[in-house]
Structure 1
Amino acid sequence: MRGANKLAMAVVLTMAGSASAALAQSAASEDNGYPAGQETYPPQTNTVFGQPETPFEPATLPVLDWAVGLGYEHTDNVNRVASDPVNQDILQPTLNFTYRQQGSAVQAQVTGIIQYTDYLQGFYDNDIFGQLSGQLNWVISPKRLNFDIEDYASVQPVNTRVSNAPSNLQQVNVFVAGPTLTFLMGDALAGEADLRYINSTASKSKSYDSQRGMGAFRVIRNLTPTDTLSGNVQATHVDFNNVDPLVGTSNYNKYDVYLQYQRILTHLNLNLALGASRIDFSQGTSSRSGGYVQASATWQASARTSLALGATSQITDSTANLAQSPNLATITLTNPNLQIGSSVITPSVYRENSLNLGYAYLGPRFTFNLSSYYTRLRPLNTTGDVARNGYVVSAGATYLIQPLLTLGATASYQVTEYISDHSRDRDPAFSVYLSREMTPHWSWSVTLAHNGRLTTMPGLGYQENQLFAILYYRR
């Protein structure tokens, strides 16, 4: 609830979509660039990192939704320290927005939040942070050539070993742009060639900043109306802005080869990718290679219940993990929570093994979700705190007291084990909130929260209690 590089990309994406709206709506027929009669073939893919994406929805008019809020927070430990905590009152003006456009020439989906923080007692300088996930697809030549623009802005810690106090936060941005050439190779076979420019920046961790070029070739076969199989070859060159061999930073080339199978049914989605990766470093570290595995399944067990399972084993880095596709179906415009990530913002390349499980129940008055996550990181080209094991369990529930009055609660427990010094952090967090929709445009919410860290490292633990209230106006 509590600085901004490239947040203007949200405005750029929105303006670009609006400017082309007339062209998209006046097109003679709807065409998303895929073979006729196969509008969902091949399935949408994150062409930067080869991971499944939420497909664009059918053609609709451009829609810009937004909400503005004014929040007040009181915290008894704004600096999140073990001793000498500082009480602070905070004002937080907030802007939430979403934009969607589904036309024959342009498809766009953007979601974001911008939040200004005013520390009334002046313990910290006032600041502005934002989150953004945006994608724009321009169909230059139907069924032949598209141009893709993506931007992902997030707030991440500078150093994950210490608390997420305001002085330990930074803005991180990943910008992606490039063309995709699609061509038919038979009745049920299509080819796809991608070129992408990728720019990654962090406001404080400057060793992370890099420029990347990526090229990929994919052959996609339509096995059945619901099943596809693709062969993928991808090469990426990474050029860091600040190379430092003393800490293991070096430019590198990464090569990925994998097969991907996808099944999309009414109540069940399956995705499985198997292959291999190789990294050639320019200096200091010998070449590394390893397997590539990604598997996920989502099952709509009933009209109210859904289950999700995912597993990953791959060679990757922070940039790949920060590119998360927008999901407008899950966005609440009157949610003031600016999520602080837990990514390790370094130039490290690492082997990641992860497993996640999720359960959700959506009833007429009661909702409940439960998720768990395990991750294991082992760096290939740097030393220090990147090597770790992490475990997270989180849950949330809401109850509709009256048609316009909702009571909710959240809880999470995170454990991080650091390999370098065998230390362990345990981060519990709890909150309870009450929200009311007064009119179709006006709403308010009040939240009580507790955050903390229990650690084996002396002096790095803390406990914090927060009171947060916000008044929102929604378009």
Structure 2
Amino acid sequence: MRPTVLCAAILAATFGGQANAARINYQIEVVALHSDNLNLSEDNQVSETVLVPRLKFDVKEEGASIKLEARGEIERRHYRGNEFPDENRSRFAGQLNWSLLPERLSLVFEDYLSEESINLRDGRYPGNLQRVNVFLAGPSYFARFDDATRLQLDLRAADNTAEVSTGFDGRRYSAAAALQRDLTPSSKASLNVAYTRAEFDDPGATVDYTREDGFVRYEGNLRNVEYQLDAGHSRLNRESGGDASTAIARATVQWQISPQNRLRFRGRHQFADEVQDLIIRLSDPDESLAPDLVDISDSLVTAGVYRQHALELDYRYAGDRFGLRLRPMYRRLRYIDQPDGDRTERGAFFQVDYRPRPRMNVFLSGSARKREFLARDEQHRDRVYSLGIDYQLTRHWGYRAEAIWNERDSNLSDPRYEEKAVQFTVWWKR
């Protein structure tokens, strides 16, 4: 993907002389995976063993003029039974903020590379994955009128490409302004307006459009609670077909109940698209770069705009020996011009960790999801469970062993499948 190479070149050129100042972590893994149904088929199962060398890394730098956060994964998959061709997979999320004039002018570069399903209705198996890349860049201007009032203007140009889904390819240009005022030492409000122009390479697959958003934002913290609330209106102007509008209502509330307990709520009602959702998901360090089998995240790779109604709770407990994560979610997506993608999703994810020894962790994770496609009266129910152990032998070496059970039931016969897999990983980390 050309934008990913460009972003890597920018980062290398910018930080070539500051490598000693950046915090760089990396982990090398060798994974052996055996599955009795790697192609996720009901009647034509393929038993396969896969050998996967993998490199994971993250880089963080925060200096007087440069701020960088980047993380990525690169792997090579060798299919020992030759049932599938060997392949490379890679994921990346990076944000670079270069302050040209302190508190006046910054240049921003962001790049997001992910592996997403070609056909959302099928599982994540070899041959049904494609690289999706979003690269955006532009300046940010800042002005301060007094001690409590500030203005920020962001100009961005973005390039989005998909390996297979050509309707996703295109460019977008946006301008956003935020007039912000401090209300109290712990709260502030802002008036926000944004304009986006989206153009696509394949006009037969997706309609070019402009989008105008206006909303007020109130944010702050109260004791152990941080919050951000948005309310406003959005209008979509399409070059062909009818225009549309919707209300904007967004809320994020995070409660640090105790040093070990955290509860976060997110709610969104708005216009959205997969470019926007991909950026939001991958820019969150709490989210996995690659949705694995027990992850309830997944995307339909299209540039179509939809009305999104989403609710999510995320509870985490991290004790000395015991850890717990619970994450129920609900999503309703209604596309403006692609009703075949209209769907409702309900699901929940959990993970339980127990440390019988300081360097040993036993874990149980799982997810359940029900997905309903309206156009075809199609329903899928996915259940995935994983049981394993992670053992750190020394400061740098360790291993991970895991057993996975993956099942899909459906009101249609073809999408059904059941998979049992085991996975063993040896890792070395810096």
TM-score by length of 1: 0.86
CA distance 1:9–1:302, change in 2 (3 Å): farther
1:234 to 194, 197, 203: 194
Give matches, 1:42-441, under 5 Å.
61-244=21-204, 249-265=206-222, 267-283=224-240, 285-324=241-280, 326=283, 341-384=297-340, 386-441=341-396
Would you tell me which structure has more strand in proportion to its own residues?
Answer: 2
Deviation at 1:331, TM superposition (A): 8.6
* SS of 2:277 mapped into structure 1: helix
CA contact (8 A) 1:10 1:110 kept: no
Report Cα offsets for 1:109-129 as digits up to 9, x if no partner. 011111211111111111111
The 3 A distance-change label for structure 1 pair 77 and 119 is same
What's the counterpart of residue 472 of structure 1?
427
State the match for 2:409 in structure 1: 454
Aligned amino acid, residue 290 of structure 1: T
Matches within 5 A, 1:17-36: 17-19=14-16, 21=18
Deviates more, 1:124-133 or 1:96-105: 124-133
- Displacement after TM superposition at 1:20 (Å): 5.6
Cα distance, 1:161–1:331 mapped onto 2, change above 3 Å: closer
Contact persistence 1:17–1:107 (CA under 8 A): no
Distance 1:14 1:266 in 2: 38
Distance 1:320 1:336, change over 3 A: closer
8 Å contact 1:399–1:408 — kept in the other structure? yes
Q: Distance in 2 between matches of 1:8 and 1:445?
A: 32
Contact 1:14–1:99 (8 Å) recurs in 2: no
TM-score normalised according to structure 2 size:
0.95
Q: Secondary structure at the match of 1:320?
A: helix
In the aligned structure 2, how far is the partner of 1:80 from the partner of 1:10?
35
Contact kept in structure 1, 2:71 and 2:94, CA below 8 Å:
yes
Q: Relative to 1, partners in 2 of residues 1:116 and 1:341: Cα closer, same or farther, differing over 3 Å?
A: farther
Q: Structure 1: which amino acid aligns with 2:212?
A: Y
Q: Gaps (5+ residues) in structure 2?
A: none
Question: In structure 2, what residue type is equivalent to 1:462?
Answer: Y
Partners of 2:350 and 2:265 in 1: how far apart? 16
C-alpha deviations, 1:151-170, integer Å up to 9, x for none?
Answer: 11111111111222211111
Percent identity, aligned pairs only, is 27
The code of the aligned residue for 2:227 comes to: L
Secondary structure of the equivalent of 2:93? strand
Give CA-to-partner distance per residue, 1:384-416, whole Å, 9 cap, x none.
1x1010011110011101111110010100100
Q: Which ranges of structure 1 fall in alignment gaps of 5 or more residues? A: 26-60
Partner-residue secondary structure (3-state), 1:321: helix
Distance in 2 separating the partners of 1:340 and 1:243: 31
Shift of 1:6: 4.9
Cα deviation, residue 290, structure 1: 0.9
Contact 2:56 2:72 (8 Å CA) reproduced: yes
Letter of the aligned partner of 2:304 in structure 1? S
In structure 2, C-alpha distance between the alignment counterparts of 1:358 and 1:80, rounded to whole Å: 29
Q: Deviation of residue 19 (structure 1)? A: 2.7
1:14 shift after superposition: 4.2
**Residue type of the alignment partner of 2:258:** S
Is the contact between residue 325 and residue 352 of structure 2 (CA under 8 Å) also seen in structure 1? yes
Match of 2:120, SS state, is coil
SS in 2 for 1:21: coil
Query: Any conservation in 2 of the 1:254–1:277 contact (CA below 8 Å)?
Result: yes
Query: Residue 145 of structure 2 aligns to a residue in which SS?
Result: strand
Task: For residue 137 of structure 1, report the CA deviation from its aligned partner.
Answer: 0.2
**Contact 2:296–2:369 at 8 Å: present in 1 too?**
no
CA distance in 2, matches of 1:144, 1:172: 33
Of structures 1 and 2, the one with the larger relative CO (CA 8 A, separation 6+) is: 1
Taking the aligned partners of 1:327 and 1:348, their CA distance within structure 2 comes to: 23
- 2:9 is the counterpart of 1:12: yes
Number of residue equivalences: 428
User: Residue 323 of structure 1: SS of its match in structure 2?
Assistant: helix
Q: Check 1:115–1:399 CA distance in 2 against 1; reply closer, same or farther (3 A cut).
A: same
1:85 aligns to what SS in structure 2? Answer: coil
Letter in 2 for 1:21: Q
The more displaced of 8-17 and 253-262 is: 8-17
